[in-house]
């Protein structure tokens, strides 16, 4: 994928990997609440823009616990969650079939931990000819170095780094797109510091205040 080619709702899918209690416990590279918020940003944006989503867990019942309910219950109730034994999701037939079923060759991925459960399927998808974008601020690992080395390795292999808000803004593109404007603003209000500015602008300028003009 050219570095200057933006994502669009019609051409990408989102894979969220192993946002589970046991995995969060090991994260030392980032503030865990920030990762949770960024995962929610991705999920809510995907739902708003009708981006296909694949959710997966590892050893849900025997070790790691359920996928974070803020996503499964709060954003995608009833959506299937693929449980695996493999660290590498790409070794799981159901995961591979779910990715293929999206019909998209550009996969945006985030998860825990960066060096394993994100890195491994990313490298395999790149080898399979997928374009992979890694949302680095919605990933975490056991140390800052573990996270950074994994991100470097994925970039060197051909993946493209992105942040959670980049995902939102590239999907929106123009504040005049009224069909998704309020949904994007709701995400910003609920989950980002910019939400403070949004609330202030509504207070100061009235409910008509809008970036769309």
Active site residues: 117
The string of DSSP letters for 117-186 reads IIHHHHHHHHHTT-EEEEEGGG-B-SSHHHHHHHHHHHHHHT-EEE-HHHHHHHHH--TT-HHHHHHHHH
**CA distances from residue 92 to 95, 104, 186 in whole angstroms, order as listed:** 5, 18, 35
DSSP 115: I
CA 30 from chain centre, in angstroms, equals 15
β-sheet with 160-162: strand ranges across? 81-84, 53-58, 12-17, 106-111, 131-135, 160-162
The residues that bridge with 110 in the sheet, in sequence order, are: 16
Q: Decide: 114 and 137 in contact? Cβ < 8 Å.
A: no
User: 56-74 burial string, b = 16+ CB within 10 Å, else e?
Assistant: bbbbbeeebbebbeebbee
**161 phi/psi in degrees, rounded to 5:** -80, 150
């Amino acid at each position: 994928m050219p570095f200057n080619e933006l994502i669009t709702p019609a051409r990408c899918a989102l894979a969220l990997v192993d946002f589970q209690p046991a995995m969060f416990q090991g994260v030392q590279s980032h503030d865990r609440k920030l990762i949770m918020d960024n995962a929610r940003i991705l999920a809510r944006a995907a739902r708003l823009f009708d981006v296909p989503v694949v959710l997966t867990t590892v050893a849900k019942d025997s070790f790691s616990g359920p996928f974070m309910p803020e996503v499964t219950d709060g954003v995608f109730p009833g959506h299937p969650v693929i449980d695996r034994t493999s660290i590498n999701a790409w070794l799981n037939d159901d995961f591979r079939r779910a990715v293929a079923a999206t019909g998209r060759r550009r996969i945006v991925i985030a998860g825990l931990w960066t060096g394993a459960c994100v890195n491994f399927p990313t490298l395999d998808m790149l080898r399979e000819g997928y374009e992979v974008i890694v949302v680095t601020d919605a990933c975490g690992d056991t140390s800052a170095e573990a996270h950074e080395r994994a991100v470097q390795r994925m970039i060197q292999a051909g993946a493209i780094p992105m942040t959670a808000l980049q995902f939102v803004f590239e999907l929106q593109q123009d504040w005049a797109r009224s069909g998704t404007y309020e949904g994007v603003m709701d995400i910003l209000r609920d989950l980002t510091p910019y939400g403070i500015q949004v609330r202030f602008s509504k207070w100061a300028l009235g409910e008509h205040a809008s970036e769309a003009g």
